[in-house]
Amino acid sequence: MMSEITVTINNKLVGPIEVDSNVMMIEFLHEYLNMTGTKFGCGEGICHACVVIVDNDDGTSSTVRTCISGAHAFNNFSIRTIEGHAKLNAVGEIIQLSPVQESFIKHFAFQCGWCTSGFTNETTVLIEKLKKQPIKKEDVESVISSSLGEHVCRCTGYVKYYQAVKELILNTEGLTT
């Protein structure tokens, strides 16, 4: 059954667009909007490659798997995708990556990059959370593990991802006490 959805994506209002009720969010992003940065991995809700950030009205944010969530579940939601992390100039060229992206590049954290948009979104949510709720330095590794632990990297780049996140947290003022 077709019905309209409207979603704010990376601060831009998209829609209303007619979408069939059985279209998953990742298909909506790829096929309706040509936004292919969100990656389809397992398609079964396991690998978390496909997560986007949902910004809630109460100021909190969380990641949601788009391979197992219908596009209509995001109607009237505000989300962020990997395309929204870097700063762009007026003609759409990247002029500044986000601190998370910079840290992943600095540490050579990814290889094929299929999991990277998911790791970037999850880490961004974690950093934003720590800005509001700093943690003790000695808890950094356990917090990273519990926050990123569900993300699968088929190239097994976990050590470098985790190192990149650890350094970013420890070197960003206000995230640790």
Please report, as ranges, the residues that interact with ligand FES according to CB under 6 A.
40-43, 45-50, 65, 67, 110-115, 153-155, 157
What's the closest the beta carbon of residue 57 comes to ligand FES, in angstroms? Answer: 25
Q: How far is the CB of 37 from ligand FES (least distance, A)?
A: 13
Taking the C-alpha atoms of residue 135 and residue 143, their distance in angstroms, rounded to an integer, is 8
Please report how close the Cβ of residue 173 comes to ligand FES at its closest, in angstroms. Answer: 29
Query: For ligand FES, which is the closer residue by CB, 111 or 176?
Result: 111
- CB nearer to ligand FES: pick between 116 and 175: 116
Cα(139)–Cα(137) distance, integer angstroms: 5
We find the least distance from the C-beta atom of residue 115 to ligand FES, in angstroms, to be 3
Please say which residue, 100 or 115, places its beta carbon nearer to ligand FES.
Answer: 115
Closer to ligand FES by CB, 67 or 175: give it.
67
Q: How far apart are CA 63 and CA 40, in angstroms?
A: 15
Beta strand pairing status for 78-80 and 51-55? antiparallel
Residue with tokens 């650890």: 166
